Chain A
């Protein structure tokens, strides 16, 4: 059974200037112990999707479609009950996610007392063991320190300890290493992979970094302006991308392993979702656009497990 199944997810934000559809008919699933990456640029709907799964969207958001955690439909009440237990999260900025008034140990222990009903002493013992597992040196001493006394990498380790303390079925990691330096990022991502293998937790990794996707995801969803552009196993996305947006994005990202005469440059900017272009939302920026692109393309299977929302897929060079 899949750890997470998202089917036809739509998110509308009611704003003073009208209704804005941030996510439009998004579907994907993640098996236990696997990582699915959602990639895209600002405003593509990737963070709204994370918050919708967690049930943490603002009041003005309207969610439709279905979200299932281990087969059970997640209603608002179910989300509240599952959060912190079966459904865990880590965000970009560990300083704002941690409570500055409590020690690192207290914050991990709180999760265990709340969700596993441990008493204070057992919870603290387990918390220290958990801090050791996320490789915080001198865990017993660090457990007594406050967030401001810890480095950014250390704080993100504490967040991971809190998130994984109760062996969740699903971890949502929204840009978990974007605020960290590259050497620390590598440590944190390797740690997440290792813990995921041990616990069988499924991970939804939200990121803008294609390098992180390549090394750490099993499957990829590429989003553009609220819709899925392409969905495929990771190797396929990098070797045989079919959607022009994916192709452009791969060519636009500077890489350590090649110096190119010129980066592929996707002209223009993302559309305003209050007034999106009709049909394919990427068409105004797409060098492959044809008349048919005035109609919204279906997300069609171009090869087993590989879906692209493009009238011209599969694209011949």
Chain B
């Protein structure tokens, strides 16, 4: 096997999506430049995280990658095939390979469908396991850690964590090759979140899934991502293997984002101000209005995303002072042993 030479499962080039808006008289007033020239490769069997703050365009990008919305410009290839050229019927068939899990498990399940009906739907749609749908639903429920006899129940009878497991089972039903999770664990309490994060990790490994994790939570990203792309105002500012990005962030925005995560003994250097409006993003480098290292060239010209395996879009990425590294938590022997009980001894 030569994983480095293997073509990515999904490839996006120059994706653009603007949402025009009008005033009360119907006159065009501008556009939210939600995704503004994004190129991205999703390696096979790996977890790519797309991170950024609200309004950076990460959710829109997720929908573009699945062609749930049409881009204004750009190319999209899934397993070498030009997705944007597919007619509707062929695209529907292709969807079998690419599924989405949403943040809110209360909104993503139809309250009038039993769990069994919800999971059977994709089986019928894609003509899978014909004649043994019920047995397949039972298998899928067990796979996500739910008892098969729960199949006859209704969504409202389940907790948030259980509903997210059901949503995952439904996503797995069509035997997809890629799943995009848009903040899939953000609505869950910590103890339940850990269960679902562990479950996702197991499924990705056991089924060889390619997973795109859209998240604002850098702790969750650190836990499961192999590769990370950082977005700011509709563009990717940095993309690198996860451990590389966390330990050697090259873009000033990535550095500020990591420094702001609580739990590191107080923020080191705070970023001033708010994110500018995506309707009229700043000229040149979009981060220049908040960047501590800004110079004239940053206001005038947009830096390209450049580098070998660690890409960054900063004019000064090679000359910036070294980043303040994340201080790795010291392993506490007592705590580690006690916490292992939770995995080893189920009460």
CB atoms of A183 and B271 under 8 A apart: yes
Whole-angstrom distance from the CB of A292 to the nearest CB of chain B?
14
CB atoms of B190 and A287 under 8 A apart: no
Closest to A255 in B: B219
CB atoms of B258 and A256 under 8 A apart: yes
Check if B335 is an interface residue, CB within 8 A of chain A. yes
CB atoms of B222 and A255 under 8 A apart: yes
Whole-angstrom distance from the CB of A213 to the nearest CB of chain B?
8
The answer, among B216, B265, B345, for a CB contact under 8 Å with A181, is B216
* CB neighbors of A among B234-255 (8 A): 243, 246
The answer, among B223, B258, B266, B274, for a CB contact under 8 Å with A254, is B223
The answer, among B257, B261, B328, B346, for a CB contact under 8 Å with A258, is B328
Cα A208 to Cα B263 in complex, Å, equals 13
- CB-defined interface of A189-211 with B at 8 Å, one 1/0 digit per residue? 11000000000000000001111
- CB-defined interface of A41-84 with B at 8 Å, one 1/0 digit per residue? 11000000000000000000000000000000000000000000
CB atoms of A288 and B341 under 8 A apart: yes
- Whether A214 touches B262, Cβ cut-off 8 Å, given contacts A254-B223, A255-B222, is yes
Check if A166 is an interface residue, CB within 8 A of chain B. no
CB atoms of B262 and A183 under 8 A apart: no
Of B25-33, B40-48, B117-125, B192-200, the one contacting chain A is: B192-200
Check if B22 is an interface residue, CB within 8 A of chain A. no
CB atoms of B263 and A265 under 8 A apart: no
Check if A250 is an interface residue, CB within 8 A of chain B. yes
CB atoms of B189 and A41 under 8 A apart: yes
Check if A116 is an interface residue, CB within 8 A of chain B. no
- Whether A208 touches B189, Cβ cut-off 8 Å, given contacts A181-B54, A182-B257, is yes
* CB neighbors of A among B137-177 (8 A): 159, 161
Cα A263 to Cα B200 in complex, Å, equals 12
- Whether A215 touches B347, Cβ cut-off 8 Å, given contacts A252-B193, A259-B222, A266-B342, is no
- Whether A264 touches B343, Cβ cut-off 8 Å, given contacts A183-B260, A190-B267, is yes
The answer, among A42, A183, A248, A254, for a CB contact under 8 Å with B342, is A248
Check if B270 is an interface residue, CB within 8 A of chain A. yes
B interface residues, tally (CB under 8 Å): 61
Name, among A137, A190, A248, A263, the residue most crowded by chain B CB atoms within 10 Å (CB to CB): A263
Name, among A239, A241, A255, the residue most crowded by chain B CB atoms within 10 Å (CB to CB): A255
CB atoms of B263 and A210 under 8 A apart: yes
Whole-angstrom distance from the CB of A205 to the nearest CB of chain B?
12
The answer, among A183, A252, A285, for a CB contact under 8 Å with B256, is A183
The answer, among A186, A248, A249, A263, for a CB contact under 8 Å with B197, is A263
- Whether A186 touches B262, Cβ cut-off 8 Å, given contacts A254-B217, A255-B219, A317-B337, is yes
Cα A252 to Cα B223 in complex, Å, equals 11
Cα A254 to Cα B263 in complex, Å, equals 11
Cα A257 to Cα B161 in complex, Å, equals 25
Cα A186 to Cα B53 in complex, Å, equals 13
The answer, among A41, A184, A258, for a CB contact under 8 Å with B191, is A41
CB atoms of A267 and B195 under 8 A apart: yes
CB atoms of B223 and A185 under 8 A apart: no
Closest to B202 in A: A262
The answer, among A211, A251, A256, for a CB contact under 8 Å with B326, is A256
Cα A260 to Cα B262 in complex, Å, equals 18
Name, among B220, B337, B344, the residue most crowded by chain A CB atoms within 10 Å (CB to CB): B220
Task: Determine the chain B residues whose CB is within 8 A of the CB of A244 once the complex forms.
Answer: 338
Cα A105 to Cα B341 in complex, Å, equals 54
CB atoms of A315 and B190 under 8 A apart: no
- Whether A186 touches B267, Cβ cut-off 8 Å, given contacts A215-B262, A248-B191, A256-B222, is yes
Check if A269 is an interface residue, CB within 8 A of chain B. yes
Name, among A181, A210, A241, A260, the residue most crowded by chain B CB atoms within 10 Å (CB to CB): A181
Task: Determine the chain B residues whose CB is within 8 A of the CB of A215 once the complex forms.
Answer: 262-267
CB atoms of B262 and A211 under 8 A apart: yes
Name, among A250, A252, A285, the residue most crowded by chain B CB atoms within 10 Å (CB to CB): A252
Cα A244 to Cα B347 in complex, Å, equals 12
20 other contacts beyond A214-B263, A259-B223, with CB at 8 A cut-off?
A: A41-B192, A182-B216, A182-B260, A187-B272, A209-B262, A211-B219, A215-B264, A250-B335, A251-B194, A251-B335, A252-B191, A258-B331, A259-B243, A260-B223, A262-B201, A263-B198, A264-B340, A270-B189, A285-B347, A287-B346
Can you pick out 22 interface pairs between chain A and chain B where the beta carbons lie within 8 Å of each other?
Answer: A151-B274, A183-B256, A184-B274, A189-B262, A190-B266, A211-B263, A214-B262, A239-B332, A240-B334, A248-B191, A251-B194, A251-B339, A253-B219, A254-B223, A256-B219, A256-B263, A259-B222, A265-B342, A287-B341, A289-B347, A317-B333, A317-B338
Q: B interface vs A, CB < 8 Å?
A: 53-54, 159, 161, 189-195, 197-198, 201, 216-220, 222-223, 243, 246, 256-267, 270-275, 326-329, 331-335, 337-347
